Amino acid sequence: MRIRTESGIGHTTVSLAGRFDAHEIGDFRKVVDLLIGPGNATLRLDLSNVVFVDSSALAEMLRSQKAAKAVGGEVILVNVSDPVRIILELTELQQVFTLESRTDPTTTTS
Amino acid sequence: MTPASTETHLIESDLADAALERLLVAAGAGEIHRSPGSDWTVSGDTAPDAIDAANAIRRAIHGIYSAQDDVTEALITSQDHLSALRALTQVNLSTLGRSEAIDDLLEQARALTASDLVAMVDDRLVHTTGGRSADSPELTAVIREATKGTDDPEPRLVGQGNAVIAPLSDQSGGIRALAFVRTNGPVYSTGDLRLVRAAVAATDMQFTLTRLHLQEIKRATFEREHQVASSLAQAVFSQPAPTLSGVEVFSHTTPASLAGGDFFAFAVVGDVLWFTVGDVAGKGLPAAMVMTRAVSAARVAFLTHDADDPAGAMRAMGIELYDYLDDVGLFITVALGTYRPSSGALHVCNAGHSPVMLVLGGTVTLIPASMPPLGVLPEPRGRTVRFDLQRNDALVLGSDGLAEQEDSGGVMLGYDRLAELCAELPEESAERLGHHILDAVETHADGIPPSDDRTLVILRAVEAIHDRDS
């Protein structure tokens, strides 16, 4: 899986591409843990190029969400690809994340 | 081994002397005064040159014999070194007692280098051989030098050249160097330093072998404990499938490794069959440990809720597990429900689990989740959905390891194909349908090992409503 980080004033986006499964959790955590903290609590995860997620990856995304909320922020999922969207719907985890489209922001919150 | 006796040389020398004596007699000698190792004197009418020549020959022969002695002694010393080196390399730190083995190792190193004592040193004296203790004057200065440390891996002479400090390459055991000391003998020569290197190399090798041996023991211990723990975790599935008139139950789970996070559990309470199927996020023993706790929580929930309230049981289970799951950063997808064969009533609550498929009259319907997995929200709320089953209708609960099984080309079996399989063999038993689905997954894998746990539970109604009514 490729992980790319873009940071600007007031926003940080991590873009993932490829398979996001148990083998990728370590690299993902190394990147994301550095980006979530007081004063920088909101993180966007661009999942437009993720072709597969497994339960370990979902658990890791959820862990990031809990960490962000603990410091007053959140993890926003951006341009969720179809495979990820289907898994989020099957597991009802879409209600735990804010989903956002790059061109037409819509919000679903728990 | 002992040095060869000089007796042989005298006998050989006597033969040469006898020949010389005959020559001198032939040259006119009268009486010959012989003494081994010194020149002869001769009386009579003998030419002085003949006497000088005879003595010169005697000195040359003695020189040759002396050189032969030196060569023999050098060969014996070399053999002794080889024997000592062989003994050094055969000291087995892993099977002898450690202290005893180190004694043996140092003793062999002492013999090899003709030292009076050899010591192992880290920040202080650790072990010594040769009868000296750490506070002996011979060792005090050497240990002080040895503990200074250096990046130079080569042995270095200390003092007046009567001691050598040789750093070890493998310092993982905490030992920093070997110290060799001669209290009375000659200073260490260049040749001695080669022997010191050999002793250090053998010691390094033994330490490395010991470390590898201990690592292997530790790894084997971990593996054995892992296997035992995995067996204990998987033992929650050792109970036979429940039997209740009017419903057939098939259950099967195969972890991707020794243990996994998939689970199922049943309980018959009165005329109701409680069931649950779940999947802990993650794999292996960590997931299995969480799984056993989830099974316990489910069994408690079965016994404390009404048959038409799986959502209540799910909520209780979720509250019970939330703190634990939050701490470990995991969640569990769960489908939980009840089936009452006497009425055909099936109640199901789904917390983020898939696949949960209902086969009604040959048509497959997904039962979607009404709440996120357990561990996501502290007080989860889901919905119970009710279905009325007829004869041969079936509920199929699986785990993602079925639909996500890949073939050699990386293509997954897929949820659509899994749904088709569930609708096949509508007249067959739950057992036959279960094996039919598992075989299809295995065929699709075509030898590719499972990447995730595979779990399959099937409930098949075997009594029609009208049978019940009659």
Q: In terms of residues, how long is chain A?
A: 110
Q: Report the pLDDT value the prediction gives residue A105, as an integer from 0 to 100.
A: 45
Q: Report the pLDDT value the prediction gives residue B149, as an integer from 0 to 100.
A: 64
Decide if B330 touches A, using CB distance below 8 A: yes
| Average pLDDT rounded to a whole number, residues B290-296 | 92
Decide if B368 touches A, using CB distance below 8 A: yes
| B375 vs B5 pLDDT, higher one | B375
Domains, in order of start, for chain A:
2-100 (3.30.750.24)
To probe the interface with A, which of B257, B321, B326, B376 has the most A CB atoms within 10 Å?
B376
- Residue boundaries of the structural domains of chain B: 7-87, 112-201, 239-469
**pLDDT tier at B238 (50, 70, 90 boundaries)?**
confident
- Distance in Å, alpha carbon of B354 to nearest chain A alpha carbon: 7
Q: Report the pLDDT value the prediction gives residue B3, as an integer from 0 to 100.
A: 41
Residue identified by tokens 């006119």 is B28
Residue A43 has pLDDT above 60, yes or no: yes
Q: Report the pLDDT value the prediction gives residue B30, as an integer from 0 to 100.
A: 82
Task: State percent of chain B over pLDDT 70.
Answer: 86
**Interchain pair B452, A54: CB under 8 A:** yes
| A63 vs B5 pLDDT, higher one | A63
Lowest mean pLDDT among A40-54, A70-84, B21-35, B360-374: B21-35
Decide if B300 contacts B274 (C-beta within 8 A). Answer: no
**Contact list, B326 vs chain A (CB under 8 Å):** 66
CATH of B239-469, one of 3.40.190.80, 3.30.540.10, 3.60.40.10, 1.10.3720.10: 3.60.40.10
Mean pLDDT of chain B: 84
**pLDDT tier at B55 (50, 70, 90 boundaries)?**
confident
Residue B467 has pLDDT above 70, yes or no: no
- Distance in Å, alpha carbon of A102 to nearest chain B alpha carbon: 25
B348-400 pLDDT, tens digit per residue, is 999 999 999 999 988 999 999 999 999 999 999 999 999 999 999 999 999 98
| B159 vs B172 pLDDT, higher one | B159
- Distance in Å, alpha carbon of B248 to nearest chain A alpha carbon: 27
- Chain B's closest residue to A21, CA to CA, is B282
What's the predicted TM-score (pTM) here?
Answer: 0.66
**Interchain pair B331, A58: CB under 8 A:** yes
